[in-house]
């Protein structure tokens, strides 16, 4: 499997390069980044044969079977469509788009081309959330409430590495997308109720810096999600699963019970790295000729819920 990583020297492009290095039968044959000197230096350091500053140049390579898009969110839809029309399979870093119309177009083109198109909904794959999912599926747990805090300190336009970025992140279409998709995945269907509240927009960034979201599933489970770019403290996302038989705290790839006792996740998946697990699923789906867990058509319901929440702001 010959892979191109677009946005390769960004924070998540690097994570995908590291993850792919752990997967047998995979070769990164091309990388893309907007600055010629930086992308060529990255390719040389990692022994990658082709580097370019445009996606088009990478798609023209005969030794590229699939593309991982770790590019700015606003480019995802256009680039995903270009990949599929060029005959390439595509994994789109979360979110697959920053609006519903673009998400629908990605799904339409996927059906038209028959390519594998996967949204990188990594929370489905983190071993902590997989453990909960497996228990729910086996009938051993019933989710009653999911309480989530997504907190960052980003009053300037910087990325996860603390470097200036050329595009603006979004609490709803990026960070809330993680939790909305996860809640619907864990409860087995779209939220039957969804609303949101947002604080004032940042005077320079033009985005809301604080947000509160509520969801309700058909089975009665509820989700409360708090998000902020104003949090001056520990950063990240923390999930509290309140179930009929126990409470569980998920912190990325780790899981604890309600009394902060760590749960052994060693048998849940072949890796403890969520990024590696989504890459493995993407590659396996291509090889097996099937839809992946996180197929864009499956994730579309989360984008529809985000759109409903956005409409509730007005």
307 and 175 assigned to the same domain: yes
167 and 108 assigned to the same domain: no
63 occurs within a structural domain: yes
Number of other CB atoms surrounding residue 218 within 10 Å: 12
Report how far residue 297's alpha carbon sits from residue 107's, in angstroms, rounded to the nearest whole number: 6
pLDDT in tens, 108-152: 999 999 999 999 999 999 999 999 999 999 999 999 999 999 998
165 occurs within a structural domain: yes
136 and 110 assigned to the same domain: no
**Contact present, 279 and 17 (Cβ < 8 Å):** no
79 and 138 assigned to the same domain: no
The set of residues, in sequence order, having a beta carbon less than 8 Å from that of 108 and lying 6+ positions away, is none
Q: Strand, helix or coil at 2?
A: strand
298 band by pLDDT with thresholds 50, 70 and 90: very high
Give, in degrees to the nearest 5, the angle at Cα 222 between 220 and 225.
165
pLDDT in tens, 43-79: 999 999 999 999 999 999 999 999 999 999 999 999 9
104 and 149 assigned to the same domain: no
Report the domain count for the chain.
Answer: 2
Report how far residue 294's alpha carbon sits from residue 177's, in angstroms, rounded to the nearest whole number: 13
Asked whether the CA dihedral 292, 281, 7, 98 is positive or negative, the reply is positive
| Mean of pLDDT values over 297-302 | 98
252 band by pLDDT with thresholds 50, 70 and 90: confident
71 occurs within a structural domain: yes
191 occurs within a structural domain: yes
173 occurs within a structural domain: yes
**Contact present, 187 and 133 (Cβ < 8 Å):** no
**202 cis-preceded (ω within 30 degrees of 0):** no
What is the domain-level CATH number for residue 89?
A: 3.40.50.720
- In our burial notation (b when 16+ CB lie closer than 10 A, e otherwise), range 88-119 reads bbbbbbbbbbbbbebbbbbbebbeebebbbbb
Report how far residue 41's alpha carbon sits from residue 51's, in angstroms, rounded to the nearest whole number: 9
87 and 164 assigned to the same domain: no
Q: What is the pLDDT of residue 24?
A: 96
233 and 263 assigned to the same domain: yes
Name the token pair of 175.
Answer: 């960070």
109 occurs within a structural domain: yes
* Residues in a beta bridge with 3: 28, 66
The set of residues, in sequence order, having a beta carbon less than 8 Å from that of 35 and lying 6+ positions away, is 53
H or E stretch at 283: helix 274-288
49 and 161 assigned to the same domain: no
What is the domain-level CATH number for residue 167?
A: 3.30.360.10
**Contact present, 146 and 243 (Cβ < 8 Å):** no
9 and 82 assigned to the same domain: yes
Domain that holds residue 222: 125-273+301-313
36 and 91 assigned to the same domain: yes
296 occurs within a structural domain: no
**Burial (0-12, 13-18, 19+ Cβ within 10 Å), 48:** buried
| Mean of pLDDT values over 291-306 | 98
**Contact present, 96 and 76 (Cβ < 8 Å):** yes
**Contact present, 253 and 265 (Cβ < 8 Å):** yes
155 band by pLDDT with thresholds 50, 70 and 90: confident
Sole residue written with tokens 């898009």? 69
159 and 287 assigned to the same domain: no
Report the predicted TM-score, pTM, of the whole model to 2 decimal places: 0.94
Q: What is the pLDDT of residue 162?
A: 65
The set of residues, in sequence order, having a beta carbon less than 8 Å from that of 124 and lying 6+ positions away, is 130, 133, 181, 182, 185, 278, 293, 294
133 and 244 assigned to the same domain: yes
Q: What does the mean pLDDT of the chain come to?
A: 94
154 occurs within a structural domain: yes
Is the per-residue pLDDT at 160 higher than 70?
no
């Amino acid at each position: 499997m010959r892979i191109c990583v677009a946005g390769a020297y960004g924070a998540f492009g690097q994570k995908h390069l590291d993850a792919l290095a752990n997967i047998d039968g995979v070769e990164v044959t091309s990388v893309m980044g907007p600055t010629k000197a930086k992308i060529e230096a990255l390719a040389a350091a990692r022994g990658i044969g082709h580097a370019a500053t445009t996606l088009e140049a990478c798609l023209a390579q005969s030794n590229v079977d699939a593309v991982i898009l770790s590019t700015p969110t606003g480019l995802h839809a256009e680039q995903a469509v270009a990949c599929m029309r060029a005959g390439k399979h595509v994994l789109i870093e979360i979110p697959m788009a920053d609006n519903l119309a673009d998400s629908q177009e990605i799904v339409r083109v996927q059906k038209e081309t028959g390519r594998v198109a996967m949204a990188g909904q990594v929370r489905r794959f983190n071993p902590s959330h997989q453990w909960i999912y497996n228990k729910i599926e086996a009938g051993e747990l019933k989710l009653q409430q999911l309480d989530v805090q997504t907190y960052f300190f980003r009053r300037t336009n910087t990325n996860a590495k603390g470097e200036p970025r050329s595009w603006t992140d979004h609490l709803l279409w990026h960070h809330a997308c993680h939790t909305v998709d996860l809640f619907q995945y864990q409860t087995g269907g779209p939220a039957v109720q969804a609303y949101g509240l947002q604080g004032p927009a940042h005077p320079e960034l033009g985005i809301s810096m604080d947000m509160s979201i509520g969801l309700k599933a058909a089975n009665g489970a509820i989700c409360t999600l708090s998000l902020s770019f104003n949090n001056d403290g520990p950063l990240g996302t923390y999930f509290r699963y309140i179930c009929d038989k126990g409470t569980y705290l998920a912190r990325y790839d780790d899981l604890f019970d309600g009394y902060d006792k760590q749960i052994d996740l060693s048998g849940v998946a072949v890796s403890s790295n969520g990024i590696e697990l989504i890459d493995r699923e993407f590659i396996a789906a291509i090889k097996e000729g099937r839809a992946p867990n996180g197929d864009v058509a499956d994730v579309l319901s989360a984008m529809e819920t985000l759109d409903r929440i956005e409409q509730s702001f007005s």
